[in-house]
């Protein structure tokens, strides 16, 4: 069943429309965590700490796909809303080509620099070989990973979000099966986990290329012969910069968390944070999937100049995300202990540390969904600059400042509370940006 971008969206239609995108990101998040589960339980906490140290850098390159996809989907949806479907197809095609090339070039660069990057991340001697191994083997699948991230947004712009969910399941099954075979059955440890991740990303990124280029394609976007028109590539990247800035900032902040935890708690701190982040990935996937689904809808109505519908989408989204965030926070507080035991139940002290961290860290979900949506709102309105400011300030300014300063003031609890406090500051900024740069959406009458 296709989902159309046009028409009025009530709460029920919004939820139905974004559910496939949420499912897609949830599945992707789950199988991204599978590496950690198998390594933690079958290769030991040194290998587990190694993949937690290096994963942020891998995500920095993969997140280029988020930039291309989110910005490109909003641009393509806007062009469709203006009534130019063939032009939308050409822009879509050149963005897919651009993402594939970026994955090859930057993946090769990171593979060469893996030892230096591992040292910069703080890897000690016991971790070094496993860090380098995990980075280099993941780079094999980097072109597919970039495209996989990009297609997450393009599925909605093509009005085929269910295909995104299906592809996430297929890629996830590939990853999980290979993890079980390579890490558990064959004992390949970190190397097996990296191979499994690269294989899943390759399937998830390259299969959609063949689908969108084939005659079986039933979506509203198609890969077709197209030359590069750099202004459109630049517009898509500028428009999606907020998503990239957000991901880059989040990964930089993650690196700083790891450095602080290595300083205060050593390897156990990094392992505990890894578990907390895995649970946070699952919860954040709901918000990310919602934004992936809603951004092209906002972009379409922006192109169609339907201000009343844009305002309706904004207000309904805030309510939906606030309620969802409250339920997530409650769930995290109730189930912190069993979730921690899944990964580190073999170590009682590490489990206790993880539970404490989760109780404090997860308070951020009360308001983080609304803050994340503000960035998506401006992406949909094709205002990449304001969207990037919202993302950059929320993560790299507020959260980074908190994680660097609070531990000196209140100790270990300051690390865990950094994100909740940063989200409170971000909420004030989000309100200002909406009132200042989208005044037509906060008027009582349109």
Instruction: Give the pLDDT confidence score for residue 353 in this predicted structure.
Output: 92
Please determine, for residue 187, whether its predicted confidence score (pLDDT) is greater than 90.
Answer: no
**Phi then psi dihedrals of residue 73, to 5 deg:** -65, -40
For residue 406, is it within any domain? yes
DSSP for 231-249 reads: HHHHHHHHHTHHHHHHHHH
Mean pLDDT of 29-42: 75
| pLDDT the model gives residue 270 | 79
Q: What's the rounded Cα separation, in Å, for the pair 237 and 244?
A: 9
Token pair, residue 414, equals 């300051």
Q: Return d(Cα 126, Cα 130) in angstroms, integer.
A: 8
**Crossing angle for the helix pair 142-157 and 45-81, nearest 10 degrees?**
40
- Read off the pLDDT of residues 392-446 as tens digits, 9 standing for 90 and up: 898 889 998 999 999 989 888 999 999 999 999 999 999 999 999 998 888 654 4
Domain assignment of residue 444, yes or no: no
Please indicate, yes or no, if residue 347 is contained in any of the structural domains.
yes
442 falls within a domain: no
Give the model's pLDDT for residue 181.
94
Statement: residue 44 has pLDDT above 80: no
Is the pLDDT score of 45 beyond 80? Answer: no
Report how far apart, in Å, the C-alpha atoms of 289 and of each of 154, 156, 201, 301, 441 are.
12, 11, 18, 19, 23
Rounded to whole angstroms, the maximal C-alpha distance in the chain is 65
Q: What percent of the chain is modeled with pLDDT above 90?
A: 42
Q: Is residue 3 part of a domain?
A: no
The span from the CA of 317 to the CA of 78, in Å, is: 20
Residue 381 belongs to some domain of the structure: yes
**pLDDT band, very low/low/confident/very high, at 4 (cuts 50, 70, 90):** confident
pLDDT value, residue 217: 85
The pLDDT of residue 446? 40
Query: Mean pLDDT across the chain, nearest whole number?
Result: 88
326 assigned to some structural domain: yes
pLDDT tens digits, 252-296: 888 888 888 878 887 788 788 888 988 898 898 899 889 988 998
Q: What is the pLDDT of residue 436?
A: 92
- Domains of the chain: total: 1
Q: What's the domain range around 38? A: 11-436
Query: Contact, 378 vs 310, CB < 8 A?
Result: no
Residue 2 has pLDDT above 60, yes or no: no
Structure tokens at 396: 């790299």
Question: In this structure, what DSSP letter does residue 382 have?
Answer: T
**pLDDT band of 14, cuts 50, 70, 90:** very high
């Amino acid at each position: 069943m296709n989902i159309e971008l046009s028409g009025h969206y009530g709460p029920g239609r919004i939820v139905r429309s974004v559910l496939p995108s949420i499912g897609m990101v949830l599945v992707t998040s789950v199988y991204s965590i599978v590496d950690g589960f198998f390594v933690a339980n079958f290769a030991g906490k040194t290998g587990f700490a190694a993949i937690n140290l290096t994963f942020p850098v891998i995500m920095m390159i993969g997140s280029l796909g988020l930039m291309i996809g989110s910005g490109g989907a909003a641009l393509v949806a806007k062009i469709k809303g203006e009534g130019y479907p063939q032009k939308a197809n050409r822009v879509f095609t050149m963005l897919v080509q651009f993402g594939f090339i970026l994955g090859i070039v930057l993946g090769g660069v990171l593979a060469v620099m893996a030892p230096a990057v591992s040292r910069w991340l703080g890897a000690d001697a016991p971790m070094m070989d496993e860090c380098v191994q995990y980075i280099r083997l993941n780079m094999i699948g980097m072109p597919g990973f970039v495209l996989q991230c990009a297609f997450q947004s393009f599925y909605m712009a093509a009005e085929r979000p269910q295909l995104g969910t299906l592809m996430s399941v297929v890629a996830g099954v590939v990853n999980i099966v290979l993890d079980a075979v390579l890490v558990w059955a064959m004992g390949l440890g970190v190397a097996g986990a990296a191979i499994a991740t690269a294989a899943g990303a390759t399937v998830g990124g390259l299969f959609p290329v063949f689908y969108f280029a084939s005659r079986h394609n039933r979506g509203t976007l198609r890969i077709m012969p197209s030359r590069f028109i750099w202004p459109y590539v630049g517009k898509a990247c500028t428009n999606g910069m907020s998503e990239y800035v957000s991901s880059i900032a989040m990964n930089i902040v993650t690196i700083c968390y790891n450095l602080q935890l290595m300083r205060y708690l050593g390897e156990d701190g990094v392992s505990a944070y890894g578990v907390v982040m895995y649970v946070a990935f699952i919860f954040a996937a709901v918000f990310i999937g919602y934004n992936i689904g809603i951004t092209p809808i906002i972009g379409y109505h922006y192109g169609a100049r339907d201000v009343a519908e844009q305002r309706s989408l904004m207000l309904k989204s805030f309510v939906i995300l606030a309620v969802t965030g409250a339920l997530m926070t409650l769930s995290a507080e109730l189930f912190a202990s069993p979730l921690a035991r899944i990964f580190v139940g073999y170590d009682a002290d590490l489990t206790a540390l993880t539970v404490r961290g989760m109780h404090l860290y997860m308070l951020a979900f009360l308001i983080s969904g609304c803050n994340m949506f503000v960035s998506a709102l401006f992406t949909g309105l094709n205002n990449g600059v304001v969207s990037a400011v919202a993302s950059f300030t929320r993560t790299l300014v507020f959260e980074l400042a908190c994680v660097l300063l609070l531990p000196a003031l209140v100790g270990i609890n300051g690390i865990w509370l950094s994100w909740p406090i940063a989200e409170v500051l971000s909420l004030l900024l989000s309100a200002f940006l909406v009132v200042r740069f989208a005044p037509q959406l906060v008027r009582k009458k349109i």
